[in-house]
Chain A
Amino acid sequence: MDGAMGSDPGIDKLIVEFRDRSVRALARTISIVEDGRPGFEGILSLLHRDLGSAHRIGITGAPGVGKSTLVERLVQRYRKLDKTVAVVAVDPTSPFTGGAFLGDRIRMGSVALDSGVYIRSMATRGASGGLAITTCEVCDVLDAFGFERILVETVGAGQSELAIAGTADTAVLVLVPESGDGIQVLKAGVMEIADLYVVNKSDRPAAEQMVTELQGILSIRAEVPTSSGISHPPQWNPPVLRTVATEDEGTEELVTALEEHVEAMRTTGVLGRRRKERLIRHTRDVVDRSLRQRVWKASDGQQRIAENVDRVVSGAMSPYQLAELIIEAGLPRVGD
């Protein structure tokens, strides 16, 4: 891809409007990328050279800890610093119906109608493996559009959410004093990824204890070299911050800590290393995704499964034999 426009006039026009800073074009581009509509890879390829201006911040934590409220406060503060901000709020798709109730926008009413703010609600769409790559691609579109701060808000600390946090420049884990003892948090895996910890609703009595416990665990972790492959700036001690998002307390300190983190990464070269690691992972993921789709398509895999499933059920054929059949049918024709 040398940057030449694709042959689709609709997409050509969209890119022109996108570069002209049309919000409608931005929103449509995000949809094309999120849905994987024809031409999406061409668009992302074109926008690749425009990446790099955004500081991507991942914010994760259990439901109800106050992430959306905290995000709203961050948006307000960034706007006061004259930074443009995009928010991607990810909520779960129902595994039974395929639908989703995306209600994070509600909490951000105060920043509505500010042209320096863009909010997009995303559903996980049951794509546990593919969610991180798609979210990353949505952030790429926002980065290319020119937003200076991108906040990605996800629920929980499962595999997908950790993967998303891993695509951020700064990963923040939000907890509340009732989060349970610190050892649980240690197990969650997110400890390997989080750069900053926030104890929200810290006006509750158990807050002080939680902060102390967390700091204790983090100091133990500091003794053990991490093998997670995530670079941290040398001497970066993940701070534990206290906020009361509803009262806008502690949020100024949070913004300062976020800015300090990205600055520390920049000056130590860690930011460059992380982004390189991210691009490597991303390229691998794109190959995997593309291969998968093309083999399924070329082999007419779903049809072959439908035709043979009864044999697998009866034991006459194993899933491995059927899989081999599909792959052998698909691989030679992948280039077609």
Chain B
Amino acid sequence: MDHAAKASLVDSHKHSRSRPIRVLVAKPGLDGHDRGAKVVATALRDAGMEVIYTGLHQTPEMIADAAVQEDVDVVGLSILSGAHLTLVPRVRELLEEKGRGDTLLVVGGIIPQADCQHLEEQGVAKLFGPGTPTGEIVSFISAWSENRSK
């Protein structure tokens, strides 16, 4: 994305809210590789968001707790290990239990096509597979945020 396009993305996002969007980026489970999550976290920061990065080996309980304490708008889970069918719904469930079912839940990583629909039914707003341009993730979150403040 060239500088002008980036700048206008930042601008359009800034003017639609008076405060930055807060995003929790977490890696649940046993994954050992977090480069992808860090790339996304950096892109979100560059788009003017406040990114709370929890690091590796988070349990769903730790993720939900952090999401509540930080009063985030968005929870982004990065999963490469294949444990998405247990971890993701558990996070959603805990967020609901703690009164934060209103957060936007997005998932990135290695998720087989066959499981995507199931996860969307379980409350995941969008799944971003490997190679998704980070601009797409930024746009999705920004658009959701704009819609919410209307």
Contact = CB atoms under 8 A, between A and B. Distances in A.
Interface of A: 22-24, 27-28, 30-31, 35, 93-94, 97-103, 105-106, 109, 112-113, 118-121, 123, 125
Contacts of A28: 71
Contact of B65 (A31, A100, A113, A125): A113
Contacts of A109: 55, 57, 62
25 contacts: A23-B68, A23-B98, A24-B68, A27-B70, A35-B18, A93-B20, A94-B45, A97-B46, A97-B48, A98-B48, A99-B44, A99-B45, A99-B46, A99-B50, A100-B50, A101-B53, A102-B52, A103-B53, A103-B55, A105-B53, A106-B54, A112-B65, A113-B61, A119-B69, A121-B50
Contact of A30 (B62, B71, B99): B71
A101 B19 CA distance: 15
A244 to B, nearest CB: 22
A105 B54 contact: yes
Interface string B34-77: 00000001101111111111110100011001101111000000
B14 interface: yes
Most buried by A among B10, B44, B62, B71: B71
A99 B51 contact: yes
Given A35-B18, A113-B62, A123-B20, A102 B50 contact: yes
B31 to A, nearest CB: 15
A112 B62 contact: yes
B96 to A, nearest CB: 12
Contacts of B65: 112-113
Interface of B: 10, 14, 18-20, 41-42, 44-55, 57, 61-62, 65-66, 68-71, 98-100
B51 A101 contact: yes
B82 to A, nearest CB: 23
A330 to B, nearest CB: 20
A24 B51 contact: no
A3 B9 CA distance: 43
Given A28-B71, A123-B20, A102 B53 contact: yes
Closest 6 CB pairs of A and B: A99-B45, A106-B55, A27-B71, A98-B48, A31-B71, A35-B19
Given A98-B14, A99-B20, A120 B53 contact: no
Contacts of A97: 10, 45-48
Contacts of B57: 109
Contacts of B98: 23-24
Most buried by A among B42, B45, B52: B52
A123 B50 contact: yes
A95 to B, nearest CB: 12
A207 to B, nearest CB: 29
A118 B68 CA distance: 10
Contact of B49 (A22, A99, A113, A120): A99
B73 to A, nearest CB: 10
Contacts of A123: 20, 50
Contacts of A105: 52-55, 66
Contacts of A101: 41-42, 45, 51, 53
B47 A99 contact: yes
Contacts of A93: 20, 50
Contacts of A100: 20, 45, 50-51
Contacts of B49: 99
Given A23-B68, A27-B70, 7 more contacts: A23-B98, A97-B10, A99-B44, A100-B51, A102-B50, A102-B51, A105-B53
A99 B48 contact: yes
B135 to A, nearest CB: 14
A98 B70 CA distance: 18
A30 B68 CA distance: 12
Nearest to A102: B52
A93 B55 CA distance: 20
Contacts of A118: 69
A43 to B, nearest CB: 14
Contacts of B53: 101-103, 105-106
Nearest to B46: A97
